[in-house]
Amino acid sequence: MSQSYRVAILGATGAVGTELLTLLEERQFPVSELKLLASARSAGLTLSFRGQDIPVEAVSEDSFKGVDIVLASAGASISKAWVDRIVAAGAVMIDNSSAFRMVPEVPLVVPEVNPEAAKEHKGVIANPNCTTILMSVAIYPLHQVQPIRRIVAATYQSASGAGARAMEEVKVQSQAILNGESPTPEVLPYPLAFNLFPHNSKLGDNGYCEEEMKMVNETRKIFGEPDLRVTATCVRVPVLRAHSEALNLEFDRPFDVAKARELVQQAPGVELVEDWEKNYFPMPMDASGKDDVLVGRIRQDISHPNSLEVWLCGDQIRKGAALNAVQIAELLVQKSWLKPAVAV
């Protein structure tokens, strides 16, 4: 990384945007110039980067001139609104929204799983959904050795998945309940403090919500397995940060548990956390602020000889969002895959 690059963060003041800023500094990404872009109401704020206060600018048609990489985390509608400008300016957009994930010509990348897909970009690379990223990193090492035939996932998703305002709302609601008051939901549809509910994304005709279908469709695309059987139930839980997932993995023949533990222990981006004597396994409190996905409680499914049970926790804002995007940027730089092939 001897060369340096001009980077823009679109959605710089959000929970993921500020984490992107932190990670660029922590990982010493070769930034020669940094632009912080957000809505007009955030313009004029300043954020610190490498000891300097950088002003936040309102995104405009001229914002992307001379920029090499745009790390976008401002929502699907904003990404769609600016993608043509970004690509026309010659930058590569690494997009954290759902806008382009299932567009066939847009790579959907988890660097530990399908790094080569990034090479095929045409100016846009999609960052997968948080739950999909965490699950993919944890189970792909097993899939490489013995293909997974079916995944049954149950997620326990923290408030951070709905943004910084949702995290603050849980704190306020918790205090209200402890004070004997009724909690008032504003960001999320129902009170989350001391409560949980099925994920609040839009329900489809098949009874699955958008979040659940993201796990189904994105996992198939990342693994390159269009017929992989995946089902998911996604739940919001009163945890501030870090998602958890309970996974049932079915193979075409038995998978040795000891071998599975060994593969997880050796896998990049994963940490095996198991203390069977103390009944100690991954927890959101342990995963918060960490880059690795914590995996544990790997055990034989007693109801099916060809299935394993796996539990994981991962920081939704870091590996589930910002870190994965920065790792994609690092991949582009290391492999010299930065320049777009053609405009989208």
Catalytic residues: 130, 243
Q: Supply angle C-alpha 157, 290, 15, rounded to 5.
A: 60
The rounded Cα 284 to chain-centroid distance in angstroms is 15
Tokens of 139: 């189970």
Whether 245 contacts 135, CB under 8 Å: yes
Q: Which residues contact 11 (CB under 8 A, 6 or more apart)?
A: 17, 37, 38, 72, 73, 74, 75, 78, 96
Whether 324 contacts 133, CB under 8 Å: yes
Give strand pairing partners of 295: 272, 312
Single-letter amino acid code for the residue at 134: L
Q: How far apart are CA 117 and CA 136, in angstroms?
A: 15
| Among 330, 322, 315, 332, CA closest to 20 | 322
Single-letter amino acid code for the residue at 236: R
| Among 100, 58, 60, 61, CA closest to 77 | 100
Q: Largest Cα–Cα distance in the chain? A: 60
Q: How far apart are CA 279 and CA 328, in angstroms?
A: 36
Q: How far apart, in Å, do the first and last CA atoms of the chain sit?
A: 27
Give the CA distances from residue 184 to residues 95, 195, 236, 240, in Å, rounded to whole numbers and listed in that order.
Answer: 32, 13, 16, 17
